[in-house]
Amino acid sequence: MKVSLIPEKCIACGLCQTYSPIFDYDDEGIVRFKDSDQLSRTIENSPETLTAVKSCPTKALICEV
């Protein structure tokens, strides 16, 4: 599945990192991928990542299966 980030929508609530270890934060608390500056990434399907995407209150995470 492809996961994309929209950092401009992120409010640094922390839910994505709580649910999935692929997410991290920059120095201002805005979402990013762990160990990467990419804004989209293809990853293996994972229930944790799907939960993180669905839980984002501002839809800063997008998932395409």
Check: CATH 3.30.70.20 for 2-64?
yes
Say yes or no to pLDDT of 49 above 90: yes
Of all residues in the chain, what percent carry a pLDDT higher than 70?
Answer: 100
Residue 56 gets the label, from left (phi > 0), alpha (psi -120 to 50) or beta, of: beta
Which pair of structure tokens corresponds to residue 5? 């980030």
Q: What pLDDT score does 34 carry? A: 96
- Tell me the pTM: 0.90
Mean of per-residue pLDDT scores for the chain: 96
Q: What pLDDT score does 65 carry? A: 81
